Structure 1
Amino acid sequence: MKATIKTLGTLMAASLMAMTTALVPIQASAADQERFVLISHAPDSDSWWNTIKNAIREAGDAVNADVQYRNPTNGDLADMARIVEQTVASNPDGIIVSIADFDVLKGPIQDAVRRGIPVITINSGTQEQSEALGALLHVGQPEYDAGYGAGQRAKAAGVSHFLCVNHYITNPASVERCQGFADALGVDLSGNMLDAGSDPSEVERRVEAYMRQNPNVDGILTLGPSSAHPTLRYLERSRKAGNIFFATFDLSDQIAAAIKDGHINFAIDQQPYLQGYMPVIMLSLYHRYGLIPANHMNSGPGFITADNIAQVEALAGEVR
């Protein structure tokens, strides 16, 4: 497994290096600096997006483009839609946007396409939704499939009663993760998904209350650091860490340490660096030469376990 991951990582690194090298002469040929805007659904408190911020900065440097990051401060999707509208009105050379809610964002994104602004969707949403919006392509992780894959691993480990800690329940993609996990276990999601909120103390409190009311829970799924960190604190404080199957989406320094300690079984890695870096490169190629890949890009899911954590933990929060 280690050899396979190392080989894939080497190939990906080589591909990115080759692409970046190929773009060196493009920098010199660009008459004006391009301006691209990435709009996410994440609140300011969500540190997971720091990797994507780092990726768009490095990709912008590679192609000599001005790449800006915008988001709703509190994660409000109506506010996100307004940010998309404002960005469209500013007429950038390209927009990168997460499909946090298809119905809420449909109008502003399709308006961008009608105006001739190239759009690439990332992270949340599906490839089918991306096509329906008129985007060039989608770079992300199929959320239901990722949840289902995690659920298969949990089922193989003997999990039968689970809790999905959802810190962003207004995002339909987050529910897809929980639903896939439930379906793989053959369990009804109803009653097993917790609306935990986004405040760390509140997440920890709600998880503790749920676990007290449901002592038969033998498996927990969290949807990212915002819910994983408080859940981990509760499990460690109650001395249940390592005794309950615990899987989470995404990676952080704290999650990496918990995997090494045996307190988290695995993290589902959607490789956010790719979600930030590749769209910038693709938009630049499209803007300058009309070139765009023919297929969507699945950036995940990958699974980070105790077997391969040493290969990625040093880069957590930066590239992984």
Structure 2
Amino acid sequence: MITMIKKTSTVLLATIAISGPMMTSLSAHAADEHFVMISHAPDSDSWWNTVKNAVKESADTMGVRVDYRNPSTGDLADMARIVEQSIATNPDGIIVSIADFDVLSGPLEKATRKGIPIITINSGTAEQSLKLNALMHIGQPEYEAGFGAGKKAQKAGVTSFLCVNHYITNPASVERCKGYADAIGVDLTSSMIDSQQDPSGIEMKVRAYMRSNPDTDAILAVGPTSAHPTIRALDKMKLNGKVHFSTFDLSEDIANAIKNGTIAFAIDQQPYLQGYMPVVILTLYNRYGIIQSNNINSGPGYITADNLALVEKLTGTVR
């Protein structure tokens, strides 16, 4: 998925408990401050576990309570309803990913009218965050991250590619693919597939595309959900190391694929920062009226075989 960002300490929860299967209490502290973090991620997206870890550590450090809420299937209409439900509880702040500006702008306007401060994270742009009247945006500039990855691939001789997009309804994922396509100078339309999220289906679609387009130089996956089945597809087709393969984000499988040469590099948006920093910033804003004047770009960073050892032990927890 998709996705963004950096470290520090606290997240959001409530003196009023929000009921529902999609809400998880991330801190046992009893506190006056009640924040809510709302992401677009389905329950199956393990990448967000690092964000949740950061939220818990940040909440514990700052002595606040945070609710983490998400649409269980990743449905954006469901996410918009969660935003509205969360606003109705009058939290002291909202942290939200801009999975789709058009879908979320209406519900989030209600937060502004009620004077609830907002920090946007992960998906979306600084410009969209500003339009939502958010205090700031913490995340990775997605087009620029894709463009940077494409430039690295171009230096390796790449002139064509396949973007395996498992979350095509999220504009940020398309921006990743578009940046890469522009960097190597190709049209995205014929270079991107809507793989959806079923692992077997993704593997099958990648294999079918590569059979139909045998001259494809490279593959870009927009996250672990699409990267893991692509690793298996290349292995079965005996294309490991023969196709320049890069992916957004990190996992144990991706780290192993970097080590064995299947993946050239992973684009790291430092998700820990996306969970840790907004809790700290909202706490300082609520308590003291302190707010920094700039957004936080949490990425992109690039993980290769040369620097993998620095982050591998922390995969899934801090990295």
Q: What TM-score comes out, normalization by structure 1 length?
A: 0.90
More helix per residue: 1 or 2? 1
Asked if 2 retains the 8 angstrom alpha-carbon contact of 1:36 and 1:93, the reply is: yes
Conservation of the 8 A alpha-carbon contact between 1:50 and 1:318: yes
Residue in structure 1 matched with residue 116 of structure 2 by the alignment? 117
- Listed as ranges, the gaps of 5+ residues in structure 1 are 1-11, 21-29
Residue 289 of structure 2 is matched in structure 1 by 290
1:9-61: CA deviations, max 9, x gaps? xxx88xx5xx89xxxxxxxxx99431111100011111100000111011000
Match of 1:208 in 2: 207
The one-letter amino acid of 1:299's match is S
C-alpha contact 1:78 1:104 (8 A) present in aligned 2: yes
1:97 and 2:73 matched: no
Aligned to 2:25: none
Please tell me the residue identity of whatever aligns with 2:60: D
Cα deviation, 1:127-186, whole Å, max 9, x if unaligned, reads 010001000000000000000000000111011110000000000110000000000001
Partner of residue 260, structure 1: 259
User: How many residues are treated as equivalent by the alignment?
Assistant: 296
Greater relative contact order, per chain length (Cα 8 Å cut-off, separation 6+): 2
- CA distance in 2: counterparts of 1:304 and 1:217, whole angstroms: 23
Aligned to 1:9: none
2:228 paired with 1:229 = yes
Distance 2:297 2:220 in 1: 22
Identity value in percent? 66
Matched residue, 2:33 = 34
* SS in structure 2 of the partner of residue 191 of structure 1: helix
Bigger shift: residues 102-111 or 136-145: 102-111
Check the 8 A contact 1:33/1:64 in 2, yes or no.
no
In the other structure, the counterpart of 1:43 is 42
Map 1:32-181 onto structure 2 (within 5 A).
Answer: 32-181=31-180
Q: Is the 8 A contact 2:30 2:64 kept in 1?
A: no
Contact 2:267 2:300 (C-alpha < 8 Å) held by counterparts: yes
Runs of 4+ in structure 1 deviating by more than 6 angstroms, as ranges, are none
Q: How much does 1:111 deviate?
A: 1.1
Task: Tell me if structure 2 keeps the 8 A contact 1:58–1:277.
Answer: yes
Residue type of the partner of 2:153?
A
The aligned counterpart of 1:27 is none
The equivalent residue for 2:219 is 220
Q: Distance in 1 between matches of 2:90 and 2:215?
A: 54
Secondary structure at 2:190 match in 1: coil
Q: Return closer, same or farther for 1:31/1:170 CA change in 2, 3 Å cut-off.
A: closer
Secondary structure of the 1:315 match is coil
SS across alignment from 1:50: helix
Give distance in 2, aligned partners of 1:312 and 1:118: 33
Offset from partner CA, 1:259-303 (integer Å, 9 cap, x none): 111110000000000000000000000011111111000000000
Deviation digits for residues 95-119 of structure 1 (CA, Å, limit 9, x no counterpart): 0000000000001112111111110
Say if 2:37 and 2:66, in contact at 8 Å, map to a contact too: yes
Distance 1:208 1:298, change over 3 A: same
Amino acid at match of 1:123: N
Counterpart Cα distance in 2 of 1:301 and 1:135: 22
CA distance in 1, matches of 2:154, 2:31: 54
1:195-216 CA-to-partner distances (Å, cap 9, x unmatched) read 0001111111111111111111
TM-score (norm 2): 0.91
Q: Which residue of 1 aligns with 2:312?
A: 313
The answer (yes or no) to whether the contact 1:160–1:185 under 8 Å persists in 2 is yes
5+ residue gaps, structure 2, are 1-5, 11-28
Instruction: Give 2:246's aligned amino acid.
Output: A
Inter-partner Cα distance in structure 1 for 2:244 and 2:102: 35
SS in 2 for 1:48: helix
Calculate the aligned-residue CA RMSD, in Å: 1.5
Alpha-carbon distance between aligned partners in 2 of 1:162 and 1:42, rounded to the nearest angstrom: 26
Structure 1 counterpart of 2:103, one-letter code:
V
